[in-house]
Amino acid sequence: MNLLAKLSRLPLLRFAVIGALGLPVDAGVLWLMTHRGGLDPYSGRVMSWLSAATFTWMGNRYFTFRGARARGLLATVKEWLRFLAANAVGGLVNVGLYSTLVRFAPPPIDNLYVALVLGVLAGLVFNFTLSKTMVFKGPI
């Protein structure tokens, strides 16, 4: 078995890959909200986080926790809500660090996109642990 195949079997790595794919969603929605939607950087960031969290929930349902995803419409909606609630902890770390850096950090750390990446990385560990233990509990 090659190294890439072995690494792809690690749930945390799969979770990180989905999170990395969510980063352009997060950054794109942030740009849209702040440059076209007229929102301030903080409100725009909340909207971008919600969009990216929904995108990553879907990716993790089918890639990271495929065998443990909910089945049926109601169970799937409940799973999505659990995912948002569980990842709100990581999201608070993520958005909290982002906001602190945008407000108080010196350049270039105060850049919206540098702060976004650092916030996303900080929330990763919280999001994975809570998703694994509270969200993807098996077909319901």
pLDDT at 114: 97
| Cα-based distances in Å from 93 to 14, 17, 19, 43, 49 | 21, 19, 15, 16, 12
Question: Over the stretch 60-106, which tens digit does the pLDDT of each residue have?
Answer: 999 999 999 999 999 999 999 999 998 888 889 899 999 999 999 99
Scored b (16 or more CB within 10 A) or e, 8-25 reads eeebeebbbbbbeebbeb
pLDDT at 9: 80
pLDDT band with cut points at 50, 70 and 90 for residue 140: low
Paired tokens of 31: 């740009």
pLDDT at 1 over 80: no
Average pLDDT on 121-137 reads: 88
Task: Output the CA torsion sign for 83, 87, 89, 92.
Answer: negative
Share of the chain above pLDDT 70, in %: 96
CA 86 to chain centre: 11
User: Which are the contacts of 61, defined by CB distance < 8 A and separation ≥ 6?
Assistant: 69, 79, 136
- Where along the chain do its domains lie? 10-135
